[in-house]
């Protein structure tokens, strides 16, 4: 990630990399509505985003939340994966359409109206929503806005779309890689309720290179496991997680290696941005677990560290209370009755070795260096209108029981996180 000194500089960068790949058109539109569920003195804002293929899209894939109370858009989106082709994706923020009476029917009615304006059949459109759980979509306001939204196709960039779908996000998130004669561009939203499988996030990946549907879906699942399913902000899995990848097929096909590399880099960059942009995040924590018996164990050990409230709060306070890391790891191993020998473990923070062969390696000077290291990695969560730097708190865990590894990203736990979520609907 590049470094920026102002919000304007960052947004200019997003505009440069957020140009839409060939074969797609985007549009954004703001509307206002009064929620049925809560009295408000003035109408609330909602943004609509439409991604439309210039021709029907046959190579597409999606992954969705594993939360057992999925939102209506997830229910509909899963069905759409069975279609031979799609035309587009309709996204809204502010209201997630989860658990509301008639949510699926509302989504389907809106998509039917969209098809009448944008072409194709209702089954060729996928919905995606994010925002407050339990509220009904303002169906009337959305239906009235659809003709104007369709007329605006071709006027928005991926950067515009990333801005439009934000909720508690401090800044938009876009990533791009050149790919053969074309490109792969992704944009995402997500800041809180981040604990995959996926996270509370919407991610949209657009490419103009030709790729077979089966290859697209296989690699999307593999890369999601290594990126979006290896991040956590607060340990809460959303009801609305959606990851969609669409190929227009305008440009020539690339090799499988080239495709997988580009997809991994774009998804990895977006995953890091989601954590860095996490609600109240002052430190990004990267836990690299190596020499584990298998990938799943490595990933879950990493998550045990980044999801520990005691580890999170210590890092937020720039307090190298390293015993909390051992406690979190030992808790996970013990509760799952894993046969991992602590005498083989090594734990490092930054360049410092803090634990080896079953005992801590600590002294006063190391304590001071660790505290300074944590302070250097910090951000001010109250002034985070753009990513101020790319520093992280690096924790490396050597398990000594195999050859598998995983990298997990997480965040600390700050006063600002509590304030933001206490005031979310205010």
For domain 7-276, is the CATH number 3.60.70.12? yes
Assign 221 to helix, strand or coil. Answer: helix
pLDDT at 2: 59
The DSSP bridge partners found for residue 132 are 95
Sign of CA dihedral 297, 323, 420, 157: negative
Q: What are the extents of the domains in the chain?
A: 7-276, 284-422
**Contact predicate 247/24, CB 8 Å:** no
Kindly write down the DSSP assignment for every residue of 389-424, as one continuous string.
----EEEEEE--S-SEEEEEEEE---HHHHHHHHST
pLDDT of residue 340: 87
In 3-state terms, what secondary structure has residue 326?
Answer: helix
- Measured between alpha carbons, how far is 139 from 411 in angstroms, rounded to an integer? 36
CA distance 130 to 167: 8
Is 135 within 8 Å of 103 (Cβ atoms)?
A: no
- Asked if 222 and 144 touch (Cβ cutoff 8 Å), the reply is no
Yes or no: is domain 284-422 CATH 3.30.70.1230? Answer: no
Reduce the secondary structure of 60-117 to three states and give it as a string: EEEEECCCCCCCHHHHHHHHHCCCCCEEEEEEECCECCCCCCCHHHHHHHHHHHHHHH
Q: Residue 200 catalytic? A: yes
Dihedral over Cα of 327, 329, 334, 335: its sign:
positive
| pLDDT (0 to 100) of residue 17 | 97
**pLDDT at position 424, please?**
57
Are the folds of 7-276 and 284-422 the same?
A: no
At residue 194, the pLDDT reads 44
What sign for the dihedral angle of Cα 156, 77, 226, 411? positive
Helices (H) and strands (E) in the chain, counts: 12, 16
**Active-site residue identified among 200, 227, 239, 407:** 200
- What does each of the 426 residues of the chain score in pLDDT, given as a tens digit? 557 888 999 999 999 999 999 999 999 999 999 999 999 999 999 999 999 999 999 999 999 988 888 899 999 999 999 999 999 999 999 999 999 999 999 999 999 999 999 999 999 999 999 988 999 999 999 999 999 999 999 999 999 999 999 987 889 999 999 999 999 999 999 765 444 443 458 999 999 999 999 999 999 999 999 999 898 865 445 677 899 999 999 999 999 999 999 999 999 999 999 999 887 899 999 999 999 999 999 999 999 999 999 999 999 999 999 999 999 999 999 999 998 888 999 999 999 999 999 999 999 999 999 999 999 999 987 777 888 889 999 999 999 999 999 999 999 999 888 887 777 555
Listed in sequence order, the residues at least 6 apart from 350 whose beta carbon sits closer than 8 Å to its beta carbon are: 370, 373, 393, 394
């Amino acid at each position: 990630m590049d470094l920026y000194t102002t919000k304007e500089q960052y947004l200019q960068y997003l505009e440069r990399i957020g140009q839409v790949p060939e074969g797609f058109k985007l549009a954004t539109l703001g509307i206002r509505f009064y929620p049925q569920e809560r009295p408000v003195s003035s109408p609330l804002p909602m943004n609509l985003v439409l991604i439309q293929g210039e021709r029907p899209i046959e190579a597409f894939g999606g992954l969705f939340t594993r939360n057992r109370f999925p939102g209506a858009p997830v229910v509909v989106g899963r069905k759409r994966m069975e279609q031979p082709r799609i035309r587009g994706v309709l996204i809204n923020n502010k209201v997630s359409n989860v658990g509301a009476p008639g949510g699926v029917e509302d989504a389907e009615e809106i998509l039917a109206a969209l098809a009448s304006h944008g072409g194709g059949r209702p089954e060729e459109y996928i919905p995606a929503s994010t925002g407050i759980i339990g509220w009904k979509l303002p169906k009337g306001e959305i239906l009235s806005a659809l003709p104007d939204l369709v007329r605006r196709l071709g006027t928005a960039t991926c950067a515009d779309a990333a801005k439009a779908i934000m909720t508690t996000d401090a800044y938009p998130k876009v990533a791009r890689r050149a790919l053969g004669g074309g490109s792969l561009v992704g944009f995402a939203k997500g800041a809180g309720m981040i604990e995959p499988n996926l996270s509370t996030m919407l991610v949209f990946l657009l490419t103009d290179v030709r790729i077979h549907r089966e290859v697209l879906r296989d690699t999307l699942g593999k890369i999601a496991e290594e990126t979006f399913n290896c991040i956590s902000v607060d340990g809460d899995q959303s009801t609305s997680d959606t990851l969609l990848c669409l190929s227009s097929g305008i440009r020539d096909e690339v090799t499988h290696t080239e495709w997988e590399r580009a997809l991994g880099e774009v998804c990895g960059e977006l995953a890091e941005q989601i954590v860095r942009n996490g609600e109240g995040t002052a430190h990004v924590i990267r836990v690299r677990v190596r020499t584990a018996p298998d990938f799943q164990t490595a990933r879950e050990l990493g998550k045990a560290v980044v999801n520990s409230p005691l580890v999170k709060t210590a890092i937020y306070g720039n307090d190298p209370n390293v015993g909390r890391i051992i406690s979190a790891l030992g808790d996970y191993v013990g509760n799952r009755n894993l046969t991992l020998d602590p005498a083989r473990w090594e734990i490092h923070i930054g360049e410092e070795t803090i634990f080896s062969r079953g005992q801590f390696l600590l002294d006063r000077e190391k304590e001071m260096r660790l505290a300074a290291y944590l302070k250097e990695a910090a951000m001010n969560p109250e002034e985070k209108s753009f990513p101020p730097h790319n520093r992280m708190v690096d924790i490396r865990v050597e398990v000594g029981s195999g050859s598998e590894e995983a990298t997990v990203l997480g965040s600390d736990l700050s006063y600002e996180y509590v304030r933001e979520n206490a005031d979310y609907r205010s």
